[in-house]
Structure 1
Amino acid sequence: MTEKLKNTMKHPRGADGYKTFSIRIREEIIDQIDEISKKTGRSRNELIGILLEFSLKNSEVV
């Protein structure tokens, strides 16, 4: 018997808890992120998320 392909409904955009948007970043910062990406094997997107999460947890508004 041939196994059937199971299709599921596609989640609406943002339903996975993520949003896509663009930002402007200095080229020097991109170079630093790319260097860490090469050393760790993580994607640029993953690193930016990690760095932002850390910064938010360790920020204080004064």
Structure 2
Amino acid sequence: MAEEIRIKKKAARRGDDGYKIVSVRMKDELIEKLDVLSAQSNRSRNELINILLSSAVDLVKIEE
């Protein structure tokens, strides 16, 4: 597994554009963890998912 991913707190802000809507099924436990991180970082769940996925995509190695 990767090292930890650090996310800085920021001031509340809404209305960023330039994104596409994607529907994803997630387990309740994962959503609960995202909600805790969201509250701690003062970022929306959507913003956190984008940050985490952006970081994770660079860590993926496809095995043959």
State the TM-score, normalized to the length of structure 1: 0.70
Aligned residues: 47
Q: Which residue is 1:60 aligned to? A: 61
Higher relative contact order (CA 8 A, sep 6+): 2
Q: Mark the runs of 5 or more structure 2 residues left unpaired by the alignment.
A: 1-16
Q: Once superposed, what is the RMSD of the aligned Cα atoms?
A: 1.4
The structural deviation recorded for 1:21 is 1.8
TM-score, normalised to structure 2, is: 0.68
Q: Percent identity?
A: 38
Q: From the CA coordinates, give the structure whose radius of gyration is larger.
A: 1
Gaps of 5+ in 1: 1-14
Structure 1 stretches of at least 4 aligned residues deviating more than 3 Å after TM superposition: none
